[in-house]
Amino acid sequence: MSHPSVPRIGRTFAGITAVAAGSAALLALTGPASAVPDTARAAGAKRAATYPNLAPTPPMGWNNWSYYRCDINEKVLLDNARALVRTGLADKGYDTVTVDDCWMAKKRGPDGELVPDPEKFPHGMAYIGRKLHKMGLKFGIYEDVGTLTCGKYPGSLGHFQQDADLFARWKVDYLKADGCNVPVPPGSTKEETFHDLYRQQSRALEASGRDITFSVSAPAYFQFAGDRVWHKVIRWSAELGNLWRSGRDIALETDSPAKKWSSIVTNFGYNAGLAGLQRPGRWNDPDFLLAGGTGLTRDEMQSQMSLWAVMAAPLISSTDLSDLSPAAREVLGNKRVIAVDQDPLGVQGEVVRKGDGFAVLSKPLANGDRVIALFNSGDTPRTLSTTAEAAGLPDAGPYLVRDLVTGRAHHSGGDIVAKDVPPHATVLYRVSAAY
């Protein structure tokens, strides 16, 4: 999502340090069982088949917004696409290149059609699609369900089918639909209006005749409307699309490293509490990966990657891929960590232990293994652990414990322990029965 920050109530982290943000976010985590009753969860799973299941595993790729914002053009987009291929990241699953806000002209064409900005995209968007597809990549694009996008370009309100048909002709594979500038008619609530407009967008995409993965931004506009409304919006987003921006935006490239880290902890904090609202093929999206030339440390980049993977979140990079540091490339390209995110069971890991400045999550995998993330959000080293019972492991130790970042393995007879976890670091273990 690329809407500007708006005043929020409730869980605000503005103007506080990263460690304070980490403590507040982790302590505010809500368990998934309390978020959605089992009956509601089952009903939601039944309804979720409405929009085609076009993302059986969390989408992966690249989006320009966090790094470039509106400073986007044909060369920047295609250079980053080529870098995806050249670095080998495309072969590891990062296959969708999405152009965010500001790609279009300020006015529609004579027949009401969207027009690419002729200076930024002189060859047009169908050309972009052809170039990406020739590289073996998918083409993603941005629009808004309101009258204008967040950058004040034409929105799709009143043009849903026209725009969906145009995207289909351009061979678009993925649509990110934002929610800026949505007028609420008299007699309707904001939630009802958003539901209606995203429903129209969803139906238009289906009627376009092309399979277009649909990313819904609606829940981020209700994060601080109270959990009852926020969770309701997430549930209908899962009916209408394949993934949804669950809350506030991640930090921008122009922000300080401290603010970026605080943003990562904040977005982890709200998204980790939504595990009960996610289901296989329908994904909570806590926003972009910041690994790159961002001023973050190796441990901080790895923490975001590991936490997003254990939460089964979309892995969408937003950086200058043509200038990746070796550390950032290793973090983004770790096959063992990517496999956790892309596991076919499709379950979001749940918080099994938390406290001031730390959290432990456990995620079941399709082959019966468990992945355990031990996250130290504080500013001093600490030893973190969980019992086998709390982590959901079978009562049949010993266990084979493999560190998915280093690749090293050891045996454990009971508790899962990570000693001296550095500040802002996450240890990611894959645990299996040692027999």
Which residues are identified as catalytic? 178, 249
85 vs 91: CA distance, rounded Å = 7
| b (16+ CB within 10 A) / e for 273-286 | bbbbbbbbbbbbbb
Count other Cβ atoms within 10 Å, centred on residue 390: 15
End-to-end CA separation in angstroms for the chain: 46
Residue 9 burial class via C-beta count within 10 angstroms: exposed 0-12, middle 13-18, buried 19 and up: exposed
**Spatial separation of the C-alpha atoms in residues 144 and 122, rounded to whole Å:** 22
Cβ neighbours around 297 below 10 Å, total: 16
**What sections of 225-290 are H helices per DSSP?**
227-240, 257-272
For 36, 244, 300, the CA distances from 183, given in Å and listed in that order, are 30, 21, 39
Angstrom distance (rounded) from CA 421 to CA 125: 47
CA torsion sign, 310 to 315 to 319 to 325?
positive
Q: Give the C-alpha separation, 2 to 250, whole Å.
A: 10
Which has the closest alpha carbon to 103: 131, 81, 128, 84?
Answer: 128
φ and ψ at 139, to 5 degrees?
-110, 115
As beta bridge partners, residue 381 has: none
Q: Tell me 219's DSSP state.
A: G
What is the bridge-based pairing of β-strands 358-364 and 370-376? Answer: antiparallel
Q: Six-digit token pair at 118?
A: 């002729």
